[in-house]
A and B are shown apart, each in its own frame.
Chain A
Amino acid sequence: MSDAPVLSVRNLRVYYGTPGDPVRAVDGVSLDIGPGEVLGLVGESGCGKSTLGRGILGLLPDGARANGEVIYGGRNLVDLPMKATRRLRGPELGLIFQEPMTRLNPLMRIEDHFKETLEQHEPGLSDRDIRNRSLDTLGRMGIPPTRFRQYPHEFSGGMRQRIMIALALVLRPKLLVADEPTTSLDVIVEGQILRLLADLKENFGTALLMITHNLGIVAESCDRMAVMYAGKIVEEGPVKAVFFDPSHPYTQELLRSTISLDTTELHSIPGAPPNLIDPPPGCRFHPRCPAAMQVCAQKLPVEQRVEARRVSCWLHGPERQIPSGGQEKLQRAAIGVADEA
């Protein structure tokens, strides 16, 4: 990444308020996304990746608070008042959701959706310009102009997702956050959508944060990937490098759990994701890690960087920070059935 990143996240924390202690959904995440780059954010359900995506756009539900830095265009979005953040949504930052079936207003035509989006952000546009830009973007998503005046319920799920993407892109944002965009679609449609998203850099120059739990998608469409566990990023690097040489045990376990035509036996990671209100001390993964050491249960790992990669794991050092005896294997109690669920 030689150019300055489009988006810089530094030590971002997003907590959800509860009557008791808060839920630490995102607990100190830092990452950069370069212009036109596709960054995959991967993790199990409930690891906080969706919260991270929404937190970047400031679209958090009531009772959630953010702390830290989300630097875009030289400003920290976390500190911005809501009005300013709203102005950025659309022309600068876009978000597409997981479930396309319900994301379009059933009483409004597609044309009206586009008119609204464009008029809100570029009020000087003439009707003809609005129409042309909308049709152009839709066309690139494979939606013919004849369907411009139809209603959402007349489109299939895959087409609605394409319309959502077009709506997000018609304003030419610099960064698009895609929150599990293909999870609810069938495999063939998924392939089409992924191809569209992979071409964003060429056609629109837009960077993409692809949030998914599907490693296959990451392998196919992303330039770099970040692995998230229990609200923290445990590993990050170029896709090929991480796939062929994963550094963090969690990444290794994830890869081992994927299914391909060669799979003869199913592998799973024992245990369940931790409670985010009261996470385990030290490294969050240590209760389930096959390579856990004594120090893993005591101290949070220090992030190590090597070239374009980084990892948070005591297996990779720094050794001088490990107390004596810390490298002994950790004796874990057998993970009780009660913990699973």
Chain B
Amino acid sequence: MKRSGSLRSYVITRVLLAFPMLLILLTVVFLLMRVAPGDPITAALGGRVSAEELARRRHDAGYDRPLPIQYLEYLRGVATLNLGTTILDNRPMTQVIAQNGAATLELSFFAMIVAMVSGVGIGLIAGRYRDTAADLGGRLFGIVLYAAPVFFLGFLAQLTFGKWLDWLPTSGQTSPIVGATLATHTNLLVIDTIIDRNWTAFQDVVRHLIMPSVVLGLVIGGVFIRLVRVNLLQTMKGDYVEAARARGVKEGRVVYKHAFKNALVPVITIVGLNMALLLGGAVLTETTFNWPGIGHSLVTYLENRDYTAVQGIIVVFALVVVAVSLLVDFLNAYVDPRIRY
């Protein structure tokens, strides 16, 4: 039962299958962006610049060419990662992605940690003590947490910890002074400040990170509680669990060693499937906390009808979604030899 060969072929097949998915998403984005009457340039700048300037810009951006040609150029742009320049502030999209994307990445990463710790921890407890107060409490906690919109939780956090207790900053990624003097390398500020051994900046960055990531993480953790609990209940019905009991293994160990651990194996999938939740939540969190991430940028550009930027950002989202989906499948195939083509 060799593994290496089949894993490789699985990876290749899976990557090939990802292209149609990507293509569909990209096409959908393309069509949506052109459903609106007129074109992005006119919508954004119409009436604000002269007619010749408008025509020139349209020509530069390629909006006066027939639709199929636009489509092909669009695809070529995506393939070469050349997504154009924003209309609003004339930044190349690649820069937007690098800077703002990094901020979103940082936020998402720490939020995910919070989500996993809270969600998995409480989910396991709820499943283990099914139908007891702990189970009910854990489930209710998860339900209520998820029911609270992330911007409402954010508001409550800002009110309590920001205004009334004044423990933590409530907006932005850094305080203005630190932001101005910060040297960026990777755009991931936590890492950058460590590289520079700039401890005041590091502290500042971390303090700004706490509220948004905890708020977003808790909301997502609420979803995890439900998933982990159901998964654990399923695992505890397993045949090998019963066999362990038949050998007289103590109940506590049966639950921990046989049920918990096996129930967590699909966590990879759980995390991956909820990437969409994370991205959506990031948009809202960034707006609430004025976090300079790519979600916030999306909202800003949308408000200003900067369709080029909007299109570019949504393309990035699509790429991330497909990439994560691929990654999840790979990890699964690695862990479980039964999932191969």
Contacts and interface: CB of A to CB of B under 8 A. Distances in A.
B240 A103 contact: yes
B242 interface: yes
A90 B247 contact: yes
Contacts of A164: 243
B77 interface: no
Interface residues of A, number: 28
A34 interface: no
A17 interface: no
A116 B245 contact: no
B201 to A, nearest CB: 43
Interface string A86-106: 111111001101010011111
Contact of A86 (B239, B242, B248, B265): B248
Contacts of A117: 247-249
Interface in B42-99: none
Interface stretch (B113-121, B134-142, B155-163, B254-262): B254-262
Contacts of A91: 248
A242 interface: no
A97 B243 contact: yes
A102 B244 CA distance: 12
B248 A102 contact: no
Contacts of B246: 57, 59, 89, 94-95, 97
A116 B249 contact: yes
Contacts of A70: none
A154 interface: yes
B16 interface: no
B243 A116 contact: no
A128 to B, nearest CB: 22
Interface in B1-23: 1
B131 to A, nearest CB: 11
A107 B248 contact: no
A33 to B, nearest CB: 18
B197 interface: no
A94 B248 CA distance: 9
A106 B1 CA distance: 15
A164 B205 CA distance: 56
Contacts of B243: 97, 103-104, 164
B265 A107 contact: yes
Nearest to A164: B243
B245 A59 contact: yes
Interface string B238-282: 111011111111110100011001100100000000000000000
Given A59-B242, A97-B239, A86 B1 contact: no
Nearest to B251: A86
B62 to A, nearest CB: 54
A116 B253 contact: yes
Interface majority SS on B: helix, strand, loop or mixed?
helix
Interface in B173-222: none
B262 A105 contact: yes
A90 B262 contact: no
Given A105-B262, A116-B257, A153 B240 contact: no
Interface string A153-168: 1100000000010011
B39 to A, nearest CB: 56
Given A105-B244, A154-B1, A120 B238 contact: no
Contacts of A57: 246
Given A106-B262, A107-B262, A116-B253, A121 B240 contact: no
Contacts of B238: 102
Given A59-B245, A121-B248, A103 B262 contact: no
Given A105-B258, A105-B262, A153-B337, A99 B250 contact: no
Given A105-B258, A107-B262, A154-B1, A86 B250 contact: yes
A106 B251 CA distance: 19
B211 to A, nearest CB: 38
A120 B249 contact: yes
A147 B188 CA distance: 48
Contacts of A89: 245-248
A152 B248 CA distance: 20
Contacts of A108: 257
B336 to A, nearest CB: 9
B239 A90 contact: no
Given A86-B250, A87-B248, 7 more contacts: A89-B248, A90-B248, A95-B246, A97-B239, A116-B257, A120-B250, A120-B253
6 contacts: A90-B249, A97-B246, A105-B258, A116-B249, A116-B253, A154-B1
- In the A-B complex, the 5 residue pairs with the smallest Cβ-Cβ separation, listed nearest first, are A90-B248, A89-B248, A102-B239, A103-B243, A95-B246
